Amino acid sequence: MKYIFFSIVFFCGSLCIDAQNNSLPNSLKIELPTYKLNLGPIIETIEIPLVSKKASEIDIKSDHWDTTLHNPYVDTVQQFPLELNFTDSTYASPVPHTKVVTSRYGWRRGRAHNGIDIDLVTGDSVVSILSGIVRFAKYANGFGNTVVVRHYNGLESTYAHLSHIGVKANDTLVRGQYIGKGGNTGNSRGSHLHLELSYKGEQIHPEYLFDFSSKNAIRSEQVWVTQKWTHARYHNSRKVSTVKLIKSADEAALASLARQPKLYVVQKGDTLYAISRRNNMSLSRLCETNAIKQSSPLKIGQKLVLEL
Ligand SMILES: [Zn+2]
């Protein structure tokens, strides 16, 4: 009964968005009828920040331009939803051959895989997918030899596990320009390119923005990125996530209200079977969601995704 009530509440709340839209350019206020035990039915106002900047308004070297750190944004929190704009309809393939994706953005072996793995042979040329300026070009823990390029819409692309770095920090690059050779450096099992996309330190699911088929298409020149596309826990590294692009602020705000997946931290004595029973999930669904086998050993502290 409680869930039916909240579903109705959610629906009613969603109807109030439009009226609030014009007065607040940087946020959306949503009036959400809700029920509090001690107060009865009340209207709660929820404010959702909208961060929106046109590519031409961004001076890409003005904010956290640090050439010594792979991620200089560890002390900041980027708010979503966020609007991203592109000036092109295609990107340059980072590798000079058909892209074979060997692992996707998503939950993998109990951890977040925050990029997409593309197969290559050590020594293959790797190029920048979009024009921009090299922000970081050196060895980074786990990532091996790494190049980070900041693009003119604020997006950064990271190219990891390179065998050779062919650029320096502050080099200006055009789309498709050589940045280094693919390899197997850092924490890598076999030669591949680990490609990450991020905005102010928050990784974004690459397949939400780009089509990784031979078309090399940018899915939309204007798109809203919601939390769903910035957290690996919403996705499975072995599965293709269905992309439904969000192109308006209203849709972005509504999507931001959706329920977040629950994470469970493995305790001493836990088994996959017991966790699945306690959380009303079948064992096979728990394993599938987390891309693990039923026989996989659990580690204390490991995080499991319970709902998707
Ligand atoms: Zn990877």
* 177-215 pLDDT per residue, tens: 999 999 999 999 899 999 999 999 999 999 999 999 999
CATH number for the domain including 289?
A: 3.10.350.10
One-letter amino acid of 114:
N
- Is 103 in the same domain as 144? yes
Q: Are residues 124 and 29 in the same domain?
A: no
CA of 134 to the centre of ligand 1 (A): 20
Residues 140 and 283 in one domain: no
CA of 195 to the centre of ligand 1 (A): 7
Percent of the chain with pLDDT over 90: 55
Q: In what order do the strands lie in the sheet with 82-85?
A: 51-52, 82-85, 222-225
How many Å lie between the centroid of ligand 1 and the Cα of residue 103?
7
Domain that holds residue 171: 65-255
Contact 136, 157 (CB under 8 A): no
pLDDT at 72: 93
The Å distance, Cα 303 to ligand 1 centre, comes to 19
Per the domain annotation, does 289 fall within a domain? Answer: yes
Tokens of 228: 């769903």
CATH of the domain at 118: 2.70.70.10
Separation of 277 CA from ligand 1 center, angstroms?
32
113-172 tens-digit pLDDT: 999 999 999 999 999 999 999 999 999 999 999 999 999 999 999 999 999 999 999 999
User: Are 297 and 167 within one domain?
Assistant: no
pLDDT band at 14; cut points 50, 70, 90:
very low
What is the distance in A from the centroid of ligand 1 to the CA of 107? 11
291: left (phi over 0), alpha (psi -120 to 50) or beta: left
Residues 161 and 279 reside in one and the same domain:
no
| CB-based contacts of 132, cutoff 8 Å, min separation 6 | 60, 149, 150, 151, 152, 157, 172, 173
Share the mean pLDDT of the chain: 85
Gap from CA of 197 to ligand 1 centroid (Å): 12
| 117 shares its domain with 155 | yes
Residue 57 located in a structural domain: no
Is the domain of 162 the same as that of 180?
yes
189 and 80 in a common domain: yes
CA of 211 relative to ligand 1 center, distance in Å = 17
Task: Specify if 203 maps to a domain.
Answer: yes
Mean local confidence (pLDDT), 280-301: 87
Confidence at residue 225, expressed as pLDDT on a 0 to 100 scale: 94
pLDDT at residue 21 above 50?
no
**Cα-to-centroid distance, 137 and ligand 1 (Å):** 18
Q: Are residues 175 and 296 in the same domain?
A: no
How many Å lie between the centroid of ligand 1 and the Cα of residue 117? 5
Residue 2 predicted with pLDDT over 60? no
Q: Are residues 182 and 285 in the same domain?
A: no
In the chain, the number of structural domains is: 3
- Give the environment of ion ligand 1: residues with CB less than 5 A: 115, 117, 194
221 and 278 fall within a common domain: no
| CA terminus-to-terminus distance, the chain | 22
The residue type found at 68 is: T
13 CA from centroid of ligand 1 (Å) = 39
Whether residue 33 is found in the same domain as residue 82:
no
